[in-house]
Structure 1
Amino acid sequence: MLRFLLNIIVTAIALYVVTQFVPGVSVTPPDDPWAFMWVALVFIVVNAVVGPVLRLLGAPFTILTLGLFALVINAALLLLAGWLSGALGLGLRVDGFVPALMGAVVMGIATWVMGLVLGSVGLKR
């Protein structure tokens, strides 16, 4: 349970970093940490439910592009999380594919850095 809560916090911080550096990705209200926590929960659920299906279907393209198609899959997951959180009234807004792609890259880097910092806590399973 602690690992799951830590995963939500790390994802929320990564989403905050994305909203600060990527134009076209925003969470409203921007100063409410609970908004980021709820959006992070939606993103984690989308990533856990839809992510494996997209990765399985996109595996040939990922192999063919030497892993670059994984960025497209992550961008699609961010777009889907944005749509779903908008439908739930949680406030994540992604203005298109290019901001989603840039957001996926920044989110991956931010999550990786936080994983290095929190490595002793054990984000990995």
Structure 2
Amino acid sequence: MLLRLLANAAALGVATLLLPGITLGGGSPVRMVLVLLAVALVFGIVNAVVKPIFTVVTLPVVLLSLGVFLLVINALMLWLTSAIGGWFGLGWHVDGFWNALFGALIISVVSFVLNAFIGDDRRRGRRRA
């Protein structure tokens, strides 16, 4: 679970570096890493709690679009993460829907690649206490 949090933080960091519309407040490198970890935690909670509800509610649109609408849902979850981060004063911001959409694409690709290296303990039959 900690490795997934680090992978999400890295993916968020890549999106922040690549897109000028996703910004991370200044400060020391240690503070920036801590902010990315906090944002990754918020992003994980949003994806675990809000995204399934939103996906079920919009299921007809998701099916009609053959799943392409899931990109819009991912963008909205990223945008919501930015709003929640703003409420907590994290200093990480997504400026507008298009930046959220492209950021969601980047985060999805980077997370997929990193999670492929991390693997899944459940698939390997291991249990962690």
- TM above 0.5: yes
**Structure 1: segments with no counterpart, 5+ residues:** none
In percent, how many aligned pairs have the same letter?
A: 39
Task: Report what 1:111 is aligned to.
Answer: 111
Equivalent residues, number? 120
Q: Is the 8 A contact 1:39 1:91 kept in 2?
A: no
Task: Report what 1:11 is aligned to.
Answer: 8
Work out the CA distance in 1 between the residues paired with 2:17 and 2:47: 22
| RMSD between superposed Cα atoms in Å | 1.6
Matching residue's letter, 1:114: L
Q: Is the 8 A contact 2:3 2:118 kept in 1?
A: no
Which has the higher Rg, Structure 1 or Structure 2? 2
TM-score normalized with structure 1 length: 0.89
**Structure 2: segments with no counterpart, 5+ residues:** 124-129
TM-score normalized with structure 2 length: 0.87
Task: Report what 1:68 is aligned to.
Answer: 68
Distance of aligned partners of 1:123 and 1:16 in 2 relative to their CA distance in 1, 3 Å threshold: farther
Work out the CA distance in 2 between the residues paired with 1:36 and 1:79: 15
For residue 21 of structure 1, report the CA deviation from its aligned partner.
Answer: 1.2
Task: Report what 2:56 is aligned to.
Answer: 56
Work out the CA distance in 1 between the residues paired with 2:62 and 2:89: 33
For residue 29 of structure 1, report the CA deviation from its aligned partner.
Answer: 3.2
